[in-house]
Structure 1
Amino acid sequence: MQLRLPSSVSEAQRCLAEGAVPIGGATLVWAGWQRDGFPEQAVSLRDLPEANAFGPEELGGAVPLHRVDATVPEALHRAASGVGTGAVRRAATVGGNIVGSTLRCLLPAALVLDARATVLTADGVYETDLAELVAKRHVLLALRWRTPLASGYRKLPGEAGGPPPLVVAVAVHRDGGDGPGTVRVAVRDGYEVLGDSAPCRADAEHVLRDLETMTAASLPAPARDALRHEIVDVLARAAA
């Protein structure tokens, strides 16, 4: 297998056009390739500057998870720090986790940040939402978002060999005008990730009642309890 390491967007596009398979951090694809056979060529974005962006409101797709620190909002930092072992986090990448993984541990955090994705295809680079990113399994160049007033992320304990642990994420955003702002929530229940939003209120129970008419009503009791706890905490920190 030939591993290609483009250092420019145009070179990366050419790799995709010539059939190179995105490798991400290789933490997920390697075992499958060993079982099913290796592609003729693969492409990694680790040398591409646009895929290594890192700042308070942006995160490149090739950034390893162990580098995702308190520079970014708390929800995203906690999501990355809770993935696998230290060895896995040193290899796994943001793009590989969101696009290449069935667990998508970072996706709930990205959803509550209302992040947008800059994606790379053989035909060009463009911005899209997370739904299209995941559905079409695009190559992720970078995520970008607006800094929330506060955010949080909670992963409940899971059983060894059982379904993926339940995850809840919450963020409070200030609206552009004089409105009350918005509370965004996301839940990973099994392999499904649900996202929703409600107007921000001082009383967490009012926010929960608004969400009960939408996503939260369909959640199991442990998920509703975890979501309530995280909403209360994040609203308190946003008010402070």
Structure 2
Amino acid sequence: MLLRLPISLPEAQQCLAEGAVPVGGATLVWALWQRDGFPEQAMSLRRLPEANVIEREALGAAVLLHRMDDRLPEVLRRAASTVGTGAVRRTATVGGNIVGSTLRCLLPAALVLKARATVLDRDGTYETDLAEVVSKRHLLLGLHWHAPVTSGYSKEAGEAGGPPPLVVATAVHAGNDGRHHLDVAVRDGYEVTSGTAPCRTGPEQVLRALEDTDLGILPPTAWDAVRREVTGVLSRTAGS
């Protein structure tokens, strides 16, 4: 297998046009390739500058999870810190986790940040939403968002070989009018559900508003975690 390492967007487009299979850290596909056969050529974005950005409001798809630091919102940093082992985080990439993984531990965090995605295809780059990236498995180049007022992330303990542990991600955003609103995303099993509510009142009123969103279908055990995380992030917002 030939591994191609483009250093510019035109070069990356050429690799795609010539049939190179995109690969991140290969933590997920290596075993499949060993079983099913390796492609003739693969492409990694690890040398592409646009895919290695780490900024307050932007993150490249080729960034390794262990490199995600305090330049990023808390919700993203904490999400990355819970993925696998230290060895996995030193090889797994942002793009591989969001697009290639069935668990998508970073997806709830990206959703509550209202992140937009930049993707790459043979015709160039364009912006789209995360739902399209996940459903169509686009080649993710990077994410960008507006920094939240505050954010949080909780992942329950899981058992080896058991179901995916419950994840609750939260972020409070300030609107153009100065009013705050809260975004919540929950991974329950393999499904991710999200909702938004204004923060003009106390936690109980916010939680009731969230019950009227898609989050209202969550089971009671998940709602207990949502209640805890919402109460916590709103208390931190009050001190912001």
Q: Look up the match of 1:78.
A: 78
Q: Look up the match of 1:98.
A: 98
Q: Is residue 221 of structure 1 aligned with residue 206 of structure 2?
A: no
> Structure 2 matches for 1:27-106, cutoff 5 A?
27-106=27-106
C-alpha distance after superposition, 1:69-113 (max 9, x if no partner)? 121011000000000000000000000000010000000000000
Identity of paired residues, percent? 68
Runs of 4+ residues deviating >6 angstroms: none
| Number of equivalences | 239
Q: Look up the match of 1:210.
A: 209
Distance apart, 1:215 and its partner CA? 2.2
Q: Look up the match of 1:168.
A: 168
Q: Look up the match of 1:118.
A: 118
Q: Is residue 154 of structure 1 aligned with residue 139 of structure 2?
A: no
Distance in 2, matches of 1:154 and 1:59, equals 21
Say whether the 8 Å CA contact 2:25–2:92 is kept in structure 1: yes
Distance in 2, matches of 1:236 and 1:31, equals 45
Question: Amino acid of the residue matched to residue 182 of structure 1?
Answer: H
Distance apart, 1:216 and its partner CA? 2.7
Q: Over aligned residue pairs, what C-alpha RMSD do you find?
A: 0.9
Question: Amino acid of the residue matched to residue 98 of structure 1?
Answer: I
Q: TM-score, normalised by structure 2?
A: 0.98
Distance in 2, matches of 1:60 and 1:177, equals 30
Q: Is residue 192 of structure 1 aligned with residue 191 of structure 2?
A: yes
Say whether the 8 Å CA contact 1:202–1:235 is kept in structure 2: no
Structure 1 residues without counterparts, runs of 5 or longer: none
Distance in 2, matches of 1:193 and 1:214, equals 13
Provide the secondary structure at the position in 2 that maps to 1:229: helix
Distance in 2, matches of 1:134 and 1:8, equals 24
Distance in 2, matches of 1:71 and 1:77, equals 9
